[in-house]
Amino acid sequence: METVIPRLLRDARHIAVLTGAGVSAESGIATFRDAQTGLWAKYRPEDLATPEAYQRNPRLVWEWYQWRRQVLSGVSPNPGHFALTEMEKRITGRGGQFTLITQNVDGLHRRAGSRNIVELHGNIGRVKCFAIGTIVETWEIAEDVPPRCPNCGGMLRPDVVWFGETLPPAALAQAIDAAETCDFFISAGTSTLVQPAASLPWLALQHNAFVLEINPNETPLTSFASAALHALSGEALPELVAAAFG
């Protein structure tokens, strides 16, 4: 690891991190660009994760999310998630600021102990009413699928941002603010193809932050980043934290 990167990280006032599906890949969660498996192999996520798909076939979409929740219940956060938890502790422990912006809906950052998390695309563990948007904390598994909203009787859906939907405004504002005010920005495990999250590293660059990309593959960001580590996040993040904080 180049020595300047850990030093800049250690001295940063505000670190913002953007994570994508790649950070959960080493926990065994497929990225969208990997093929679906088993029963679901014949569907493209883009044909399941839209309001239109849900209106067309709510049972199918609900069952896909139930299957994804089941997969998630059998996996654990990986060393990349834990390294980010450690990074947050080290930075906030000496009065700095740390913002973890994630496009992942799997809740693994929270399970790993991260605290200041901005969930740009929602969380698969929550549901909300399709009709009125009210968040519902618990729901009954019933014959009738999808289950119904206890308030209005409307159909329940996962509290995630589907293709074609806008991001939660408060979360997006927080993410933009972090990108504009941080001095060290890490883009890890994201293809930087899905907007508006993809523009956050560029925003950080415009505001003079050091931008580090961690991804085994090239992305549109790679040649513009201040530095790029072509590595798995589950390996590179723990190494980075060890080199910076020892």
Shortest spacing between CB 95 and ligand NAD, in angstroms: 30
Question: Does 79 interact with ligand NAD (rule: CB under 6 A)?
Answer: no
Shortest spacing between CB 205 and ligand NAD, in angstroms: 18
Active-site residue among 81, 121, 207, 230?
A: 121
Interface with ligand NAD (CB under 6 A), residue from 86, 88, 106, 213? 106
Virtual CA dihedral for 134, 139, 142, 145, nearest 10 degrees? Answer: 40
- In the complex with ligand NAD, the residue whose CB is nearer, 155 or 232, is 232
Shortest spacing between CB 175 and ligand NAD, in angstroms: 13
- What track of x and - describes contact with ligand NAD for positions 180 through 219 (by CB under 6 A)? ---------xxx-xx-------------------xxxx-x
Interface with ligand NAD (CB under 6 A), residue from 101, 105, 155, 228? 105
Shortest spacing between CB 191 and ligand NAD, in angstroms: 3
- CB closest to ligand NAD, residue no: 22
Q: Is 207 a catalytic residue?
A: no
Shortest spacing between CB 144 and ligand NAD, in angstroms: 27
Q: How many CA atoms lie within 13 A of 84 on its CB side?
A: 34
Residues of this chain that bind ligand NAD (CB under 6 A): 20-22, 24-26, 29, 31-33, 103-106, 121, 189-191, 193-194, 214-217, 219, 232-234
Which residues form the catalytic set?
A: 121
